Amino acid sequence: MCAPFPKTYLRVLEEQAALVRHYHPDAKIVITGISASLADNDMLRELLTKAPWVDYVWDLPRGPKPLIRAGMLPETTMTNGWGRFGPCPVLSDIKRGYQSDLVHLSGVAQYSEGIHDDVNRFALLQFAQDPQRSVADVAQAYAEDWLKLSGRDASLAGQVIAGLGTEIVTDRLWVPAQPEHGADRADADERVKILLDVRNRSHELENNFRYWLLHYRAVCESFNVASGSLSLEVLDKEADTARDAFFRLEPEYGRFLAKLHPSLRPGRSPWNWPRSFRAAWKHENSFV
């Protein structure tokens, strides 16, 4: 359905523009074609003269494409695993980026290539609108808008979102000779507990894909520390429950995770995760 791409692209954008203007009559429509072939760009240029609903065109030159300094903001889609562990919220980095670069920008374009990434996508636009907002405020706003939470639960979920983002490392075995990896972080399990408690109080979250994305990230980060207040059995169960929810709510994302090597799925390869390595190592040594 995407061939020829420019015709499909403009048709879909015209439908979106009509919807936008239904709610915001004064909205301006800015379009651009990035990474298209020369033939597609020529076709797009010809079609644009027949598209009166377009107000502005961001025409990138052919050849190497320059990036405005906004491109120096954290790459929101590929941060720490490109969705293999759910989203990786980097709200503090996004806010800092806007504070540093705002004087160089005139307008902001948000970018995403993954359905797992709307926390950072949301934050990019919120800070673009008001860079002075706090990380806690933006995180809570996400919990209210997309998790449909309110009051204390929205505040707690916002604290989880603002606290997530610890790097997950899976390219080595976790042995006692590497004490710098798998350091204990009590807050990792606390974030999982908060999300469990919120889910118990707000049963609608069972069918909220965005909740499960955050929950899966929190579980993965708990697997990435050597010990905590939650048992390995609880974390194993929550990892499986989250992956089952993905198949139920967004099957493509569920299939994406299912195709990953077991070492990238907590609860499937104990030797690659600090939390499960300790139990596996103790089991192996019990035969000595």
What digits encode the pLDDT tens for the residues 152-210?
999 999 999 999 988 887 765 555 545 455 566 778 999 999 999 999 999 999 999 99
pLDDT exceeds 60 at position 63 = no
4 cis-preceded (ω within 30 degrees of 0): yes
Helix (H) or strand (E) holding 56: strand 56-57
Find out whether 151 and 133 touch, Cβ atoms under 8 Å. no
What are 84's strand-pairing partners? 86
- 181 dihedral zone (left: phi>0; alpha: psi -120 to 50; beta): beta
Distance, CA of 58 to CA of 231 (rounded, Å): 53
Sign of CA dihedral 50, 3, 29, 105: negative
pLDDT tens sequence across 22-52: 999 999 887 766 556 667 777 877 888 888 8
Phi-psi region of 150 (alpha: psi -120 to 50; beta: other; left: phi over 0): beta
pLDDT computed for residue 127 by the predictor: 86
The DSSP symbol for 180 reads: T
pLDDT, mean over the chain: 81
Is the per-residue pLDDT at 238 higher than 90? yes
Tell me which residue has tokens 């048709």. Answer: 11
- Residue 269, beta-bridge partner list: none
The answer to whether the CB of 250 falls within 8 A of the CB of 206 is: no
152, 113, 144: which is closest to 126 by C-alpha? 144
Structure tokens at 285: 């040594």
